[in-house]
Structure 1
């Protein structure tokens, strides 16, 4: 049985035959470890010669952005991360200074520590991080973990975080923006409710479903609803839905569009799998990634991984998945052209390709603990979903 939450984000299949061990993840932060893996080339380029300082940031109970702004407040130094790590885990990641010069001393707080590991000639970028390594304890599960062997047969879905986790709404906002229905986008941001949200949040959202209440309840909106406050302020001052969406930070507006693309991708992968397409081996005519992450056509004998289109305004039709993708776009009443917004060009997205299957390596398990590495941009929760087959992903700690 596929959980309702999975269906809401476009995941309607399991790709493994394993019956699942149930259980719960993240019972405490110590149960979920994640550390970044950088390329050998970059590793070798870190030396004691002066340049841009590279540090290892270790943290728990705080996300990357909040840790970096804490470092800036305390030490006056701006550091860039290669990836974002959430708060409900113990994480290790590389961060790099944007300016040459002397490194700061190692230091730590109760939530994070910063340790200098050397210098590089040019600042590290996202592409230098090639994978993440996970070590995860699954509580209250059956003792069947050792019999899961299908880690190379897991589809590369976008995980729950991409869609707002407890409140799966980001893709719906993205779709409303693409359909130029800015009123609907505002309504979704302010008043979309979910059974997983707190009673207080749900009550305030129900009040915000009526425009007449905007001013009346503005001061009661909790501080964590920062996007909602931006939108409300704009609506109270100018009563203009388009301007209210435009007031949201650009990175987040782009994220809404990408979340909708991710939803279409999840649906495409689910439908292709149900239609019996082989998604674990590339065939002549397929678009693939090579082991360096370079995209190209299938070449027999090369180590390549099958890719599926990630729909945008430059959607590439000539793949064996166009049948499924065209059907989904038709059901969604969206066309590739819609991803170019004349009114808000800065959020337009041309699309691209994403690997069809998870690239999972260094997999092992012992007792109720599992360890594995995943290539950059792949979600550990998607592998865990196949191992645990949870009835309710949110109460299972996803």
Structure 2
């Protein structure tokens, strides 16, 4: 039985036959440990002489953006991360200085620490981070973790975080933007409710479902609802939906579109699997990634990983998955051309490709702790979903 929240984010299958051990994750921050993995080339490029300073950022109970903001406030130095790590974990990641000036001294606070590990001649980028290693504890589970052996047969779905986790709305906002229904975008941002949200948040969102309440309840919107406050302020002052949406940082507006693309990808993967397509081995005519993440056509004998289209305005139809993808687009009343947004060109997306299956290495399990490495862009929660088969992923800590 697929949980309701899985269906809402486009996941309608399990790819393993394992019964599931149940349980909970993230009971304590120490239960979810993530360490970033650099490419061999990037690791060898770190020296102890000069260039752009590279640091190891260790953190707990704070996300990457807030940790870097805190470092900037204390030191005046802007550091760039290679990937984002959320707050509900203990994480180690690499951050790099944007200039060749004097490096920051090592320091620590109650939530994070910064340690200089060397210098690089060329700034590190996202491409230098090849994956993450996870050490995860599953609490309150059945004692059968070691009998799970199907870690090489897991579909590369986008995880719950991509869609807002407890409030899965980001993809719905993206779809409304693509439909050019800007009033609906505002309504979703302000008043979309979830059964997992707090009573206070739900009450304020219900009041904001009526435009006439915007001004009256603005001061009651909590500060952590920063996007809602930005949108409300614009709507109160100008009343123009598209202007209010444009006030949202462009990175987040692009994320809304990407979340909807992720929803279509999850649906495509589910549908292809249900239709009996082989998603774990590439075939003649397939588009694949090689072991350097370079995309190309399938070549027999080469070490390649099958890829599925990630739909955008440059959608590539000539794959064996076009039947499923085109059917989904018709159901969603969306065309690839819709991803070019004349009214907001800065959030247009041409699409691309994404690996069909999770590439999991260094897998081991002992007691109720599991260790594994995943390539960049894959979600540990999707592997855990197959191991645990939770009846309610959000209550289980996902």
Equivalent pairs counted in the alignment come to 398
1:80-106, CA deviations, whole angstroms, 9 ceiling, x for partnerless residues? 000000111000000010110322221
- Displacement of 1:249: 0.7
Q: How does 1:24-173 map to 2 (within 5 A)?
A: 24-173=24-173
Aligned position for 1:208: 208
- For 2:130 and 2:201, how far apart are their aligned partners in 1? 38
Residue 183 of structure 1 aligns to a residue in which SS?
A: helix
1:166-208, CA deviations, whole angstroms, 9 ceiling, x for partnerless residues? 0000000000000000001100000000000000000000000
Aligned position for 1:238: 238
Contact 1:50 1:102 in 2 (8 A): no
Contact 1:35 1:91 in 2 (8 A): yes
Aligned position for 1:318: 318
- For 1:329 and 1:296, how far apart are their aligned partners in 2? 25
1:260 aligns with 2:260: yes
Aligned position for 2:251: 251
1:362-397, CA deviations, whole angstroms, 9 ceiling, x for partnerless residues? 000000000000000100000000000000001100
- Displacement of 1:242: 1.1
Q: What TM-score comes out, normalization by structure 1 length?
A: 1.00
1:288-307, CA deviations, whole angstroms, 9 ceiling, x for partnerless residues? 00000000000000000000
Aligned position for 1:304: 304
Contact 1:231 1:247 in 2 (8 A): yes
Residue 266 of structure 1 aligns to a residue in which SS?
A: helix
- For 2:39 and 2:62, how far apart are their aligned partners in 1? 26
Q: Give ranges in structure 1 of 5+ residues lacking alignment.
A: none
Aligned position for 2:187: 187
- For 1:374 and 1:195, how far apart are their aligned partners in 2? 31
The CA RMSD over aligned residues, in Å, is 0.5
1:292 aligns with 2:292: yes
- For 2:263 and 2:163, how far apart are their aligned partners in 1? 8
Residue 349 of structure 2 aligns to a residue in which SS?
A: coil
1:35-67, CA deviations, whole angstroms, 9 ceiling, x for partnerless residues? 000001110110111110000000100110111
Aligned position for 2:356: 356
Contact 1:50 1:101 in 2 (8 A): no
- For 1:101 and 1:43, how far apart are their aligned partners in 2? 21
Aligned position for 2:270: 270
- For 2:303 and 2:71, how far apart are their aligned partners in 1? 42
1:259-281, CA deviations, whole angstroms, 9 ceiling, x for partnerless residues? 00000000000000000000000
Residue 227 of structure 1 aligns to a residue in which SS?
A: helix
Residue 343 of structure 1 aligns to a residue in which SS?
A: helix
Aligned position for 2:5: 5
Deviation >2 Å, runs of 4+: none
- For 1:376 and 1:392, how far apart are their aligned partners in 2? 26
Contact 1:36 1:129 in 2 (8 A): yes
Residue 319 of structure 1 aligns to a residue in which SS?
A: coil
- For 1:102 and 1:7, how far apart are their aligned partners in 2? 51
- For 1:284 and 1:85, how far apart are their aligned partners in 2? 37
Contact 1:171 1:256 in 2 (8 A): yes
Aligned position for 1:198: 198
Q: What TM-score comes out, normalization by structure 2 length?
A: 1.00
- For 1:229 and 1:72, how far apart are their aligned partners in 2? 24
Residue 382 of structure 2 aligns to a residue in which SS?
A: helix
- For 2:242 and 2:48, how far apart are their aligned partners in 1? 51
- For 1:100 and 1:28, how far apart are their aligned partners in 2? 38
- For 1:104 and 1:267, how far apart are their aligned partners in 2? 46
- For 1:67 and 1:189, how far apart are their aligned partners in 2? 26
Aligned position for 1:376: 376
